[in-house]
């Protein structure tokens, strides 16, 4: 894997030794509905991958806070 990361760093010229992240990550404006869709998608990832039965069962998920219970991580609800 390090060979691949090194190759990408040389190929793109955007990193010194290794390149792991994509360059196309940028801020976009979205409505409240779009934001909630993204939040729900993120909350459901552990369920979709078979880690938990319900989104709020995932220990470090903000889904716990959205369910009305204070989770382990401080969350500002949207």
For 32-41, what is each residue's pLDDT tens digit? 999 999 999 9
What is the distance between the alpha carbons of residues 17 and 6, in angstroms, rounded to a whole number?
A: 6
In this predicted model, which residue has the larger pLDDT, 65 or 18?
65
Under 8 Å between Cβ of 61 and 71: yes
List, for residues 5-28, the tens digit of each pLDDT value: 788 777 777 767 776 667 777 788
Percentage above 90 pLDDT, the chain = 53
What is the distance between the alpha carbons of residues 66 and 56, in angstroms, rounded to a whole number?
A: 8
Q: Name the band, by pLDDT with cuts 50, 70 and 90, for residue 78.
A: confident
């Amino acid at each position: 894997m390090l060979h691949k990361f090194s190759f990408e760093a040389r190929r793109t010229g955007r990193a010194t030794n290794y390149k792991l992240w994509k360059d196309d990550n940028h801020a976009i404006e979205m409505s409240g509905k779009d934001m909630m869709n993204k939040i729900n998608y993120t909350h459901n990832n552990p369920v979709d991958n078979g880690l938990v039965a319900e989104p709020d069962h995932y220990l470090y998920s903000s889904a716990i806070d959205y369910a009305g219970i204070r989770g382990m991580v401080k969350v500002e609800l949207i």
